[in-house]
Chains A and B, each alone.
Chain A
Amino acid sequence: MDFSIFGVQSTTLAITAALTGVLLVVGALVIAWLIGPRSYTEKKGEPFECGIPTRGDSMAQYHVGYYLFAILFLMFDVETVFLFPWAFRSGLCLEERSVEMEVKIKSMKHEDFKDNEYIDNLVEQLRAGGTNIIVGKLDQLMNWGVSNSLWPLCFGTSCCAIEFMCLGAARYDMARYGFEVARNSPRQADYIMCQGTINYRMAPALKRLYEQMAEPKYVIACGSCTVSGGPFKNSYCVVKGVDEIIPVDVYLPGCPPRPEAFFYALMQLQRKIKVQKYFGGVNRKEKLEGLKYVKEETK
């Protein structure tokens, strides 16, 4: 039966619905399954994300008050109360902002920024290997997306974390680069910005959090403490560099590094991501290892 809604043919509607509702969703799932890197470990399957082993049974009986509280919280989230007063006063704030805008962030010269042996080597390797033009273009597309929306995991153990908070605040404002959505759950984060000393008690927690992150995942060792143990190198309980526990992508020295240095590290991470391959190669291998793990688990 043919009919039309607002002058649109039903066949057109059906095709549109099929395209958006089915094809896009299924397509996204299939593509993700095909090319998305992934890893499986025992720790990744744990339900809790606070860094320590999950204990007990999550099927325990909850008090009904929790549900009520959760609903009420959503309804009256404190933030909404501020909407009106803030909006009301924004005229005044704008005036102040214009004075502050004059602050200039001194950044480094482009040549210096580009001067990174490690990444240059990576590019060299990539060129030597050669890539198919289509796959290469697809890789570029993926990398463009991944590198421009990097979400950090809020993982600050000490002093360096305060500078990271400054990065999120108005003056440095890392939102400009797509870094701003700091996540509290490792499963939603793309990289760990490891800020602050890691000691023997924290080390298993950090490892667990890293394993719980979804692929692709990156680590920035931020501050001398995470690079090498820094001022606490001689301590009886400080890990001498997080690379003893987890693989590190970018090392950012400083005690604490300045916010500008944070940006530099983040941009280096972007550069690194931009030369990464999704199709074939590394990811496939990881996936196979992961599958092996799953098989052993089900046995």
Chain B
Amino acid sequence: MAEIQDKITQLCPQAQVDTTGEFPLVTVDDAQWHDLARALKNQLHYDVLSAVVGMDWTDALGCVYYLTNTSTHELLHVKVATTDREQPRLHSVVDLWPVANFQEREVYDFYGIVFIGHPDMRRMFLRTDWVGYPLRKDYDPASNPLRLEDETNEDYTCRWVEDENGKVTKVDGKVFEDDEYVINVGPQHPSTHGVMRYRASLDGEIIKKVDVVSGYIHRGIEKMCESLTYPQMLLYTERMDYMAAHINRHCMCLCVEKALGLEVPRRAELIRLMMDELMRLSSHLLSYGCLTMDQGATTAFFYGFRERELIYDIFDRTCGARMSMSYSTIGGVVADVHEDFIKDVRHACDVIEKNLAEYHKLFTGNVIAVNRMTGVGILSKQDAIDYAITGPSGRASGWHCDVRKTNPYSLYNEFDFDEVTYENGDSMDRYMVRMKEMEQCIKILRQACDKLEAEGIQGEYIAPKVPKMMKLPAGHWYQQVEASRGAFGVYIESDGNTKPVRVHFQSPCFNLIGVVDLTCKDNMIADLITITASLDFVIPDIDR
């Protein structure tokens, strides 16, 4: 860590580096931020912008940027703030990390911070006629009642540019030119997997540009978390990416446990890990079903769901619910597993393993499937890194980004499994990564069954005592896990009370919509559906 400190002080003498926290923290003024960012990226290989957390510290507004080093997988975070509440402005880093495009728009939407040099400073999630910035501490909820009129002026956007003398001016622009042929898909559309909306500009059948309009299921979870205690917050983690419910909840638990310094019993951690993998299996099965259904193979959907019911049964028996299981808690799990748990998991593994071969036989080699997916929607490795596309979609481009391998959490370093990667980054590879990953899930689950049998006695697990009034010490924490669709991160900032000051969820799907335009451009309009299906996002996870 001291090494990093020296390097950064060399790059930018004005920056303050604090190495006492879990990751090095750099505090820098907005004036030096862009230069430092360039140096961090080009000289120190902080290639991935993992998260941008907007903040309102009441005396200042600002952002915390989490950067990941692609060679060492180390994290670093940078704090940039401005004290101007009336016209808060920071410099954009979109030119360095393209993923910042949507990230910064989100911050603008929630905090009203304008990013100088950002090409498209529009609202991200909220209505175009929204008043105020909801995540600011002084926001008044009464200022935005329910409105049933349609939104207007969604075609206009603006940029803020700075000239040599440092004078900032606003430049208006349009999303689409007047003579462009624009097709609207969604929000109510069967193939957008929820309430997503795309506006695609076409030249004949070829897509020229896709504008993603998000926010049709934005629920304001981050703001609500600020008025809840830590155990209460857990509920929302399961309702963002409901196909990674256990995993997200696990992440939140890990983050709070890290802050409190809690030790989790090994049996509980094993059970959580198994639940995570079962969830991943279930999620990939759903993704198989939806991808095939979107290409017209409705029958395959039933096959995927047949196996998913096996997993639902396991959850049902142990957690008492099929979805939204509320099983992990801070410090462990709520209760021991059902007595048949191991038997059921083994059975499910066997059945799914056998049927995977069937799936491949039926769909993978099919000539139409091959033609519609091979070479379509290519995402290069460099783009995957620039846009921070993690998870199966990133690995299909050949980027080794599995958090279970790069920054092992829970008990993953005790397990023997492979990180599945492909080379081409097209729709077919993204599909294949998921299919192959299911095999790895089964491999992990089988090992975990053996370990769980040897660990503790069935039915005698007692959840550890945790303080009733959970107070996190003042400070902030960030925890990443590998969810079904990529790296999921939780950021908690506490001032020492029972309630947090700020909670941020860095969802993998949010980054995925950033590449819809990139991957769909120059493909046919019909491929929009296969490409987005192969990217496989869950809309509530994007909107939160």
A residues apposed to B, CB below 8 Å: 48-53, 55-56, 60, 63, 65-66, 69, 73, 76-79, 81-82, 85-86, 89, 100, 154-159, 161-163, 165-166, 169-171, 184, 186, 196-197, 199-205, 207, 209, 231-232, 234-239, 244-245, 255-256, 258
Contact B299 A86 (CB under 8 A): yes
- Can you name the residue of chain A whose Cβ is closest to the Cβ of B367? A81
B22 to chain A, nearest CB (A): 30
Contact B224 A196 (CB under 8 A): no
Complex Cα spacing A245 to B202, Å? 35
Contact B126 A201 (CB under 8 A): yes
**Top 3 A-B pairs ranked by shortest CB distance?**
A169-B305, A78-B296, A51-B188
Contact B322 A235 (CB under 8 A): no
Contact of A51 among B144, B187, B219, B297 (CB under 8 A): B187
B281 to chain A, nearest CB (A): 15
Contact B220 A245 (CB under 8 A): no
Is B361 located at the chain interface by the 8 A CB criterion?
A: yes
Contact A197 B219 (CB under 8 A): yes
Assuming A204-B149, A205-B195, what are 7 further A-B pairs, CB within 8 angstroms? A51-B186, A52-B187, A169-B301, A184-B189, A199-B215, A232-B220, A235-B221
Instruction: Tell me the chain B residues, 112-168 only, with Cβ under 8 Å from chain A.
Output: 125-127, 134, 139, 141, 144, 146-151
A293 to chain B, nearest CB (A): 18
Residues of B within 8 A of A (CB-CB), count:
70
Contact B146 A202 (CB under 8 A): no
Instruction: Tell me the chain B residues, 281-321 only, with Cβ under 8 Å from chain A.
Output: 286, 295-302, 305-306, 308-309, 312
Complex Cα spacing A202 to B358, Å? 40
A236 to chain B, nearest CB (A): 5
Contact B127 A155 (CB under 8 A): no
Contact of A78 among B127, B220, B295 (CB under 8 A): B295
Q: Which residues of B contact A236 (CB under 8 A)?
A: 134, 139, 141, 144, 220, 223
Complex Cα spacing A205 to B195, Å? 10
Is B366 located at the chain interface by the 8 A CB criterion?
A: yes
Contact A197 B184 (CB under 8 A): no
Complex Cα spacing A153 to B286, Å? 21
Q: Known contacts being A49-B188, A53-B150, A79-B296, is A237 close to B219, with CB within 8 Å?
A: yes
A204 to chain B, nearest CB (A): 5
Contact of A234 among B187, B227, B299, B312 (CB under 8 A): B227
Contact B322 A78 (CB under 8 A): no
Q: Which residues of B contact A199 (CB under 8 A)?
A: 215-219
B residues apposed to A, CB below 8 Å: 125-127, 134, 139, 141, 144, 146-151, 181-182, 184-190, 194-195, 197, 202, 204-205, 215-221, 223-224, 227, 235-236, 239, 242-243, 286, 295-302, 305-306, 308-309, 312, 322-324, 358, 361-362, 366-369, 526, 539-540
Q: Which residues of B contact A235 (CB under 8 A)?
A: 219-221, 223-224
Q: Known contacts being A52-B187, A158-B194, A236-B139, is A163 close to B323, with CB within 8 Å?
A: yes
B542 to chain A, nearest CB (A): 11
Complex Cα spacing A184 to B476, Å? 45
Contact of A258 among B151, B189, B216, B322 (CB under 8 A): B322
Complex Cα spacing A165 to B323, Å? 13
What are 14 A-to-B residue pairs whose CB atoms are below 8 Å?
A52-B197, A56-B182, A65-B205, A77-B296, A100-B306, A159-B323, A162-B242, A170-B306, A171-B305, A196-B217, A201-B215, A202-B195, A232-B219, A232-B220
Contact A158 B239 (CB under 8 A): yes
- Can you name the residue of chain A whose Cβ is closest to the Cβ of B524? A69
Contact of A200 among B144, B150, B182, B224 (CB under 8 A): B144
Q: Which residues of B contact A201 (CB under 8 A)?
A: 125-127, 151, 215-216, 218
Complex Cα spacing A108 to B204, Å? 56
Instruction: Provide the main secondary structure of the chain A interface.
Output: loop
Q: Which residues of B contact A82 (CB under 8 A)?
A: 297, 299-300, 362, 366
A83 to chain B, nearest CB (A): 9
Q: Which residues of A contact B239 (CB under 8 A)?
A: 158-159, 231
B46 to chain A, nearest CB (A): 34
A191 to chain B, nearest CB (A): 15
Q: Known contacts being A162-B286, A237-B220, is A203 close to B187, with CB within 8 Å?
A: no
Contact of B190 among A51, A78, A154, A238 (CB under 8 A): A154
B433 to chain A, nearest CB (A): 22
Q: Known contacts being A69-B526, A81-B367, A200-B146, is A166 close to B218, with CB within 8 Å?
A: no
Contact B296 A158 (CB under 8 A): no
Contact B139 A184 (CB under 8 A): no
Complex Cα spacing A234 to B232, Å? 13
Q: Which residues of B contact A171 (CB under 8 A)?
A: 305-306, 309
Q: Known contacts being A154-B190, A170-B305, A201-B127, is A244 close to B205, with CB within 8 Å?
A: no
Q: Which residues of A contact B141 (CB under 8 A)?
A: 236
Q: Known contacts being A52-B150, A166-B305, A239-B146, is A202 close to B216, with CB within 8 Å?
A: yes
Q: Known contacts being A49-B188, A85-B361, A232-B224, is A203 close to B146, with CB within 8 Å?
A: yes
Contact A256 B323 (CB under 8 A): yes
Complex Cα spacing A247 to B248, Å? 35
Q: Which residues of A contact B367 (CB under 8 A)?
A: 81
Contact B146 A244 (CB under 8 A): yes
